[in-house]
């Protein structure tokens, strides 16, 4: 960009890219980095911290029984047994069920005992499965 002043003086100014464009570019890049295959974000199903243990137990019993979740890893001497709490075991069971059946229409509801998170709940040797 050039400015002309009276007389023969001409001043050229190099304008930096406008801030909104830089911000838009940065946010677009961040969104692309967070996206996974097929445009999906990673999601896990975990127990809601506000749900009482007796409700979590009933929901976990269903998930591990009739629901068809593989709950073998939350058994004694298995990688997800510790921490040995109903909430942690329910989170593992809920997520296993959700990942296994979400493409067939399953939800992360469990009678309002669970919720979706985008933070990987895996701890130490206990890895929570994620299936795109």
Domain ranges in the chain are 44-117
Above 80 in pLDDT, residue 46? yes
Nearest in space to 79 (alpha carbons), one of 14, 123, 38: 123
Whether residue 36 has pLDDT greater than 60: no
Q: What does the angle CA 28 – CA 131 – CA 43 come to, to the nearest 5 degrees?
A: 50
Relative to beta strand 2-4, strand 44-47 is unpaired
Site of tokens 């002043």: 5
Rounded to two decimals, what is the model's pTM?
0.71
Residues 64-106: tens digit of each pLDDT: 999 999 999 999 999 999 999 999 999 999 999 999 999 999 9
């Amino acid at each position: 960009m050039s400015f002309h002043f009276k007389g023969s003086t001409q001043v050229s100014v190099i304008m930096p890219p406008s801030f909104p464009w830089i911000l838009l570019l940065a946010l677009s890049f961040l969104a692309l980095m967070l996206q996974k295959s097929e445009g999906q974000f990673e999601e896990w199903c975990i127990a809601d911290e506000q749900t009482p243990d007796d409700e979590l137990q009933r929901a976990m019993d269903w998930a591990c029984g009739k629901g068809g979740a593989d709950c073998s890893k939350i058994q004694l001497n298995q990688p997800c047994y510790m921490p040995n709490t109903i909430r942690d075991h329910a989170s593992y069971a809920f997520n296993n069920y959700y990942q296994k059946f979400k493409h067939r229409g399953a939800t992360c509801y469990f009678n309002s005992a669970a919720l979706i998170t985008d933070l990987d709940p895996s701890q130490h040797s206990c890895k929570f499965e994620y299936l795109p």
